[in-house]
Amino acid sequence: MPTTTGAAPTVSPTTPPKDSAEPADVAALREELDALVTGHVGETTPGAMVAVVGIDGPLLTETWGIADPSAEVPLTPESRTPVASVSKVVTALTALTLHHEGLLDLDADIRDYLPVDDQRAVPEPVTGRHLLTHHSGIVESLLFHPEPIDEPYTGTLIDALEAHPPTLELPGVGLHYSPMQAYALLGAAIEQATGATFDEAVDRWVLQPVGATTADFHGPGTAPGDVALATRDGDEWSPTEWPSVIERPAASLTWSATDAAALLHALLDPAAGALPAEVVEEALATQVRPNHGAGGHTQVFFEEWREDVRVLEHAGANGLAWLAVVPAAGIGVFTAVTTEDADAAPLTTEVLDTVAAWTTRVNLTGRNPLEPGGLPAVEQDWAAAAEPVAPVGTFHERLFGPRGPELPLRSLISQVTVRQDGADLLLGDRRFAPADTDGRWCDSTGCIAGARAADGTVLLLRGERGMLEQTLVPAPWWANLWFVTAAVAGTLLLALVSLAGAVRASWRRRRDRHVAGAVSRPTAVAWSVAALALVVATPLLTVSPLLANSAEWLDAGGPAVWALRVGTAAVLVLGVWWLVQAVRRWNQLGPVRRVAVVPAALIGLAMSVVLVTWALPAA
């Protein structure tokens, strides 16, 4: 497999870039951003902030709207706002700084000193590099994870992780985003390496040196003038609480546009010495890129192309905050809104696109379009070895848990099937032809790739998934959409037939007519109706936090999940009792009913398999 090691290959811009932006250039950008943002502020968000930074320092730092609608506090460049997963950038820079100072070994196996549950007993090391680049193979439930806490957690991260150890279960091949646990493990490693709390360590080694003096991981509301997030409520704005979480290295950073600009300047001007030069180099160079040929990861940022410009970026809260660097232009960008409403997310994305396009327009960098055949894979010695292979089969995304109540979402909304047609691969209505790179197939809009892990697992790699789910795993037969659909349809059929049979038998009895013998109509009705109720309730239960934007009432060991498990146990007992009755009354059944017992039993078996996998404890 052709690969490169270290920094991503670069393409010379079509026009030589200027050393820095000129005042007129910045004024034009400010006008463009102002027109863009003012269309959102007051409509989709109470406030918005943008900082654009060059090698010589901030080019513009602008805010619009209000920080706290209830108090009519104006938003300023010093207003601190929560930025969710942008927190990972500061955590990663801290870990890299400690590594280069010899205090933390990012190449050591984390299983030797951090609490993880290794269900695969993977022989290869799982290191800090894997955690930084989301290649560790951690299985992390999207919905069923430790609940937000009422107050900021003050204990050690090791203690917290020992209570809920992350699970290493999947091959460490390809990128699989870990929203919380991977960076919580890095935070615990930072605490162990420094003997300080995580908050003290990031402040000492990153925040204070770069000049982000008001930033911390304590959450909003702890300093005067902090942003109070709000959601649209008719013509008004209603406050929304920002949850405290134990995994604060992954999600609890609160800072201002001024703080963000200071950190970006430290990355753009390593000569200033705010961060070690080696750390800046690793932050801006693609360290690993899967064989799908799209963006990779630098150990700090995700690699993306916007307006044909290479951008290194990290989003927070599904795009409500972004931190980004355009290395070839010497430009950094921070943008955020003061709401959690998804309608505001397009604004921040448009800000990044606007700045990227501006860098080419003023010749800070040239256009660097992705080629149809994709970019070379970038591998390192620490990356898990994988054999190129045709990814033929049925695959699931790993965004939801591999078992338990989230499993229906894998089956129903994330399954894809790849078929082979000669040398080509077919995925839906897309046809991918073999590329020059082994294990990669491309069409006019992108590429897919296949990799066989050391344990034989064949993985599907999809680069267009961006930050989220780039690596899809084989769908087991019991979670295959067609098997689940057949089992659900069969359950509905059994429920209708059993109910119709019970109604018909009752009607005939009332008229003193002959009623044909059956296995056990009450048991059949109870069995099929209870199963149908679970088939409907489990996906609804699982998706309810996504619809309500809250999972406070739902957790992996809570009453709702236990109700599903008890209901599943009841269905299994009813099914076994129905089979016992079928054996006992076999000779009393007519030929037609004897024939019907067999498919009913098979449907019941399939239904039971599906329900049991949905009721198992989530990973």
- What integer pLDDT is reported at residue 12 of this predicted model? 32
Q: CATH for 3-361?
A: 3.40.710.10
Q: What share of the chain has pLDDT > 70, as a percent?
A: 91
Mean pLDDT, range 504-521, rounded to an integer: 78
Mean pLDDT, range 480-499, rounded to an integer: 92
Categorise residue 466: left if φ over 0, alpha if ψ from -120 to 50, beta otherwise.
left
- What integer pLDDT is reported at residue 591 of this predicted model? 85
pLDDT digits (tens, 9 = 90+) for 139-166: 887 776 656 666 666 778 998 888 888 8
- What integer pLDDT is reported at residue 333 of this predicted model? 98
Q: Is 261 helix (H, G, I), strand (E, B) or coil?
A: helix
Answer yes or no: is pLDDT of 619 > 70: no
Mean pLDDT, range 85-102, rounded to an integer: 97
pLDDT digits (tens, 9 = 90+) for 568-601: 999 999 999 989 988 888 888 888 888 888 898 9
Answer yes or no: is pLDDT of 15 > 50: no
- What integer pLDDT is reported at residue 103 of this predicted model? 97
pLDDT digits (tens, 9 = 90+) for 181-198: 999 999 999 999 999 999
Residue 15 has which token pair? 């026009």
pLDDT, greater one: 271 or 400: 271
pTM above 0.75, yes or no: yes
> Alpha-carbon Rg of the chain, whole angstroms?
28
For 239, residues 6+ apart whose C-beta sits below 8 A from its C-beta are 69, 70, 228, 229, 230
* Nearest in space to 614 (alpha carbons), one of 567, 545, 544: 567
Contact 600, 494 (CB under 8 A): yes
CB neighbours (10 Å) of residue 562?
12
Mean pLDDT, range 379-400, rounded to an integer: 86
Mean pLDDT, range 529-536, rounded to an integer: 91
- What integer pLDDT is reported at residue 519 of this predicted model? 76
Q: 217-221, 275-279, 383-387 — which is least confidently predicted?
A: 383-387
Q: Give helix 521-548 / helix 559-584 axis angle, nearest 10°.
A: 160
Answer yes or no: is pLDDT of 550 > 70: no
What ranges do the domains of the chain cover? Answer: 3-361, 383-475, 479-615
Answer yes or no: is pLDDT of 4 > 60: no
Contact 166, 189 (CB under 8 A): no
Answer yes or no: is pLDDT of 17 > 70: no
Contact 8, 299 (CB under 8 A): no
Categorise residue 374: left if φ over 0, alpha if ψ from -120 to 50, beta otherwise.
left
CA distance 286 to 175: 13
pLDDT digits (tens, 9 = 90+) for 419-442: 999 999 999 999 999 999 999 999
Residue length of the chain? 619
Answer yes or no: is pLDDT of 11 > 50: no
